[in-house]
């Protein structure tokens, strides 16, 4: 399973709770491959959120930090958008087809 969260406080707290359940063995049979955190806004992440993300990253097998893509907010389909390299790495790492 790939856990995906937004990088705002509510998203990171929800991810932290899910990771804690997984780590405690509450979810038998679930194999977590990692956490993908999607930026909730352009620009630098505030320090408290960056610190929380680093804390959560210590509890997952792998973390992908995905930057803001304005085109997604506007509803553009991923195959029509020039994606930052982090998105291609995520797709490659989880074994999906490479984005165009």
Give the pLDDT confidence of 5-57 residue by residue, as tens digits: 999 999 999 999 999 999 999 999 999 999 999 999 999 999 999 999 999 99
Band of residue 100 on the pLDDT scale cut at 50, 70, 90: low
Band of residue 97 on the pLDDT scale cut at 50, 70, 90: low
Average pLDDT of the segment spanning 60-80: 94
d(CA 67, CA 86): 7
Return the axis-axis angle of helices 47-57 and 9-23, rounded to nearest 10°: 20
Residue 63: phi and psi, rounded to 5, are -130, 135
Q: Which runs of E-coded beta strand occur in the chain? A: 2-6, 34-38, 63-66
Please name the residue that has the structure tokens 């998203």: 11
Q: Which runs of E-coded beta strand occur in 7-82? A: 34-38, 63-66
Domain ranges of the chain: 2-94
- Structure confidence at residue 79 (pLDDT): 85
Band of residue 95 on the pLDDT scale cut at 50, 70, 90: confident
């Amino acid at each position: 399973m790939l856990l995906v969260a937004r990088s705002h406080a509510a998203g990171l707290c929800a991810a932290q709770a899910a990771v804690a359940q997984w780590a405690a063995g509450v979810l038998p049979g679930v194999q977590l491959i990692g956490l993908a955190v999607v930026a909730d806004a352009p620009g630098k992440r505030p320090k408290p959120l960056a610190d929380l993300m680093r804390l959560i990253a210590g509890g997952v097998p792998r973390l992908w930090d995905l930057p803001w893509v304005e085109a997604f907010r506007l509803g553009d389909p991923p195959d029509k958008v020039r994606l930052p390299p982090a998105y291609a790495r995520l797709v490659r790492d989880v074994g999906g087809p490479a984005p165009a």
